[in-house]
Structures are given as structure tokens and as C-alpha cells.
């Protein structure tokens, strides 16, 4: 499934799309395999896509897998862009960090 992850991740760009949640479920079931595509979104600049990836995917990953995202989550929580702050990315990243025991 790895060759299709980047394409699948694009379907989670807007959580209001009917296909976003089923695709997010698939990404969560992939576990660590989804991390490279997830990290690419988190390191990008699309705050809405980041929000939905955090909400629908990262937030539901097992703690040991989500812990790999700690650096990205810390950056989003502590140094968000204006868009990331406005879209709630920083707050959601902080919530996930708290779940991880940060």
C-alpha cells in the first residue's frame, strides 16, 4: 500500500468530504506505514490538511507509533504559523502531546 499513501493522504485534506473518514480509518490501520506520508503533511504549509490529519489520523494512532511524530507535534504546538494557530492545529498538536505524556 506504500505507493498509494501520498494519494490516500490527499483524501483527508478536508474532513468534511465523505471519503475522508474511511480513508483516515485505512491510514490508522496502516500504523507506522502511514508515518512518512503523515509527516510530509505535518511539515507542509496547509493548515487545514494538517488539522484533519491530526484529528482523524495522528490522534488515533497507538502511542508508540504517534510518539515518532513528537518533534513535528512540538513544533506545531509551540511555533505555529498564523494559519496553523487560527485553524486549531497548535491546540490539537498540544492535545496529542499531552496524551503521549509530554
Task: Categorize the per-residue pLDDT at 102 as very low, low, confident or very high, splitting at 50, 70 and 90.
Answer: low
How high is the pLDDT of residue 4?
A: 83
3 versus 60: the higher-pLDDT residue is: 60
Cα dihedral: 92, 10, 3, 19 (round 10): 100
Ordered DSSP codes for 19-59: THHHHHHHHHHHGGGGHHHHHHHHTSS-HHHHHHHHHHTGG
Q: Which domains does the chain have, with CATH numbers?
A: 2-100 (1.25.40.750)
CB 27 within 8 A of CB 8: yes
Amino acid at each position: 500500500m506504500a505507493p498509494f499513501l501520498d494519494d490516500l493522504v490527499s483524501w483527508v485534506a478536508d474532513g468534511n468530504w465523505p471519503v475522508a473518514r474511511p480513508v483516515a480509518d485505512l491510514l490508522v490501520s496502516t500504523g507506522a506505514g502511514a508515518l512518512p506520508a503523515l509527516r510530509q503533511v505535518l511539515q507542509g504549509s496547509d493548515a487545514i490538511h494538517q488539522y484533519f490529519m491530526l484529528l482523524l489520523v495522528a490522534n488515533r494512532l497507538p502511542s508508540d507509533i504517534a510518539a515518532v511524530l513528537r518533534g513535528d507535534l512540538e513544533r506545531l504546538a509551540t511555533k505555529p504559523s498564523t494559519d496553523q494557530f487560527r485553524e486549531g492545529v497548535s491546540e490539537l498538536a498540544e492535545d496529542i502531546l499531552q496524551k503521549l505524556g509530554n
